[in-house]
Amino acid sequence: MLFNITLARTLVASRIAQLPLVAPVLHRLPSLGYHYYSSAAATTTTTMSLPAAIAPDTPTVPGQGPPKIHLYTQGTPNGYKASLCLEEMRIAYPDKAKDQLSYDIFVLDFGKNEQKLPAFLKINPNGRIPAIVDDNAGGQRVFETASILLWIAEQYDTDYKLSFKDAGERADMVSWIFFAHGGIGPMQGQAGYFLNQKYKDAFAIRRYVVEVERLFSVLEDGLQPSAPGGGSYLVGNKYSLADLNAWTWVSSYGRMGIDMAAYPQLAKWVERVREREGTKRGLKVPRQRVEVTPEQAAEKQKEVKAYIAEADKLVASL
Ligand SMILES: N[C@@H](CCC(=O)N[C@@H](CS)C(=O)NCC(=O)O)C(=O)O
């Protein structure tokens, strides 16, 4: 497998070499110049034309060295998990920011199905973002958000600034990470999917939004001052990867029509984490996240409530 990843890296290496050392550098996945299988249109093949490197639109972090970590991403809740983590770590470890934690970015164009290109499938066989290739570790690939966060912590968080040394706290952190990875992300993802369809399926919307609300109430309980986390964060009274991992999804509650008045501790936590420098920087990579306005969120709440009521009626009539 390492050989294949090396091969995939070699395909992109010439492009990286041509790019200026600004931080982080944005790239496009290079053209492979041959036909690839498209899962979106399973019976067709498409030829990619050579994409140009995109100019950086992120602030230049002083002292960035040649990129050692290559991030394959997009501006989505999962993509932002990886960039928040890298930016938090770069702030926590300024020396490593100049070396091991220098990174560049490949923005995969979903419209062109670049996430399913063979070169990328060598990096993430699931054909989804984010994924990283870590040249500090011989070109090791890491895919799945939770696994990327844990890899970065294990390799670089030597002073436990975003993680924990204590076995119990570490277990708590990993538990919250998997709670969000297996629950929050997929359920919010599905809620968003059904809310964004032209055909609105009230039952599906109810199913996923109500489940997201249930998961939010679990986080609300976990953020009570009497909970083991201490009230401000999920674990050990400090911001950690447990918070980071859940935040990019939870903070997009406005798009799901969720009324945060029901989750006061969680609402405060969302704002607390939003104020972090690492969050602000991470939300710019690969491009500034667009936030919904309070008016749009209120509109979405009304819309979602109506679908849930419609589904309730439908179920009651069966
Ligand atoms: N479980 C995965 C989910 C990754 C995922 O769903 N990524 C989406 C963007 S948020 C994606 O790449 N979608 C493109 C596709 O499905 O082809 C993780 O946590 O990394």
Nearest to 107 by CA among 244, 12, 188: 12
Burial of residue 272, with CB atoms counted within 10 A of its CB: 0-12 exposed, 13-18 middle, 19 or more buried: middle
The DSSP bridge pattern shows strands 103-107 and 25-28 to be parallel
Contact predicate 241/85, CB 8 Å: yes
User: Do residues 183 and 251 both lie within one domain?
Assistant: yes
User: Do residues 6 and 124 both lie within one domain?
Assistant: yes
The whole-number pLDDT of residue 123 equals 94
Is 161 contained in some domain?
no
User: Do residues 56 and 190 both lie within one domain?
Assistant: no
Residues enclosing ligand 1, CB less than 6 A? Answer: 76-78, 110, 115, 127-129, 144-145, 181, 185
pLDDT tens, position by position, 15-27: 333 333 334 555 5
Give the CA angle between residues 294, 295, 298 to the nearest 5°.
Answer: 85
How far lies 135's CA from each of 11, 102, 164, in Å? Answer: 15, 10, 25
The whole-number pLDDT of residue 27 equals 57
Q: Which residue segment(s) compose the domain that 267 sits in?
A: 167-316
Q: Looking at 156, 178, 205, which one is the last position of a domain?
A: 156
User: Do residues 299 and 174 both lie within one domain?
Assistant: yes
The whole-number pLDDT of residue 158 equals 98
Task: Name the residue of 38, 107, 120, 128 to mutate for ligand 1: max ligand atoms within 8 A of Cβ.
Answer: 128
Series of mean pLDDT values for 10-residue runs along the chain (318 residues): 42 35 49 27 32 39 75 95 96 92 90 90 95 96 98 98 98 98 98 95 97 98 97 98 98 96 98 97 92 95 96 94
The protein residue whose alpha carbon is closest to atom 2 in ligand 1 is 144
The whole-number pLDDT of residue 54 equals 40
The whole-number pLDDT of residue 79 equals 96
CA of 187 to the centre of ligand 1 (A): 13
Partners of 133 in beta bridges: 70, 141
Question: Residue 74, Cα to own-chain centre: how many angstroms?
Answer: 9
Nearest to 128 by CA among 111, 113, 112, 146: 113
Sequence letter at residue 198 = K
User: Do residues 127 and 197 both lie within one domain?
Assistant: no
Q: Which atom of ligand 1 is nearest to the CA of 115?
A: 17
Report the 10 Å Cβ neighbour count for 7: 12
The whole-number pLDDT of residue 67 equals 85
| CATH number of domain containing 197 | 1.20.1050.10
The whole-number pLDDT of residue 62 equals 54
Q: What is the total count of domains within the chain?
A: 2
| CATH number of domain containing 90 | 3.40.30.10
Sequence letter at residue 62 = P
CA dist., res. 72 & res. 132, Å (int): 6
HSE of 308, CA atoms in CB hemisphere, 13 A: 17
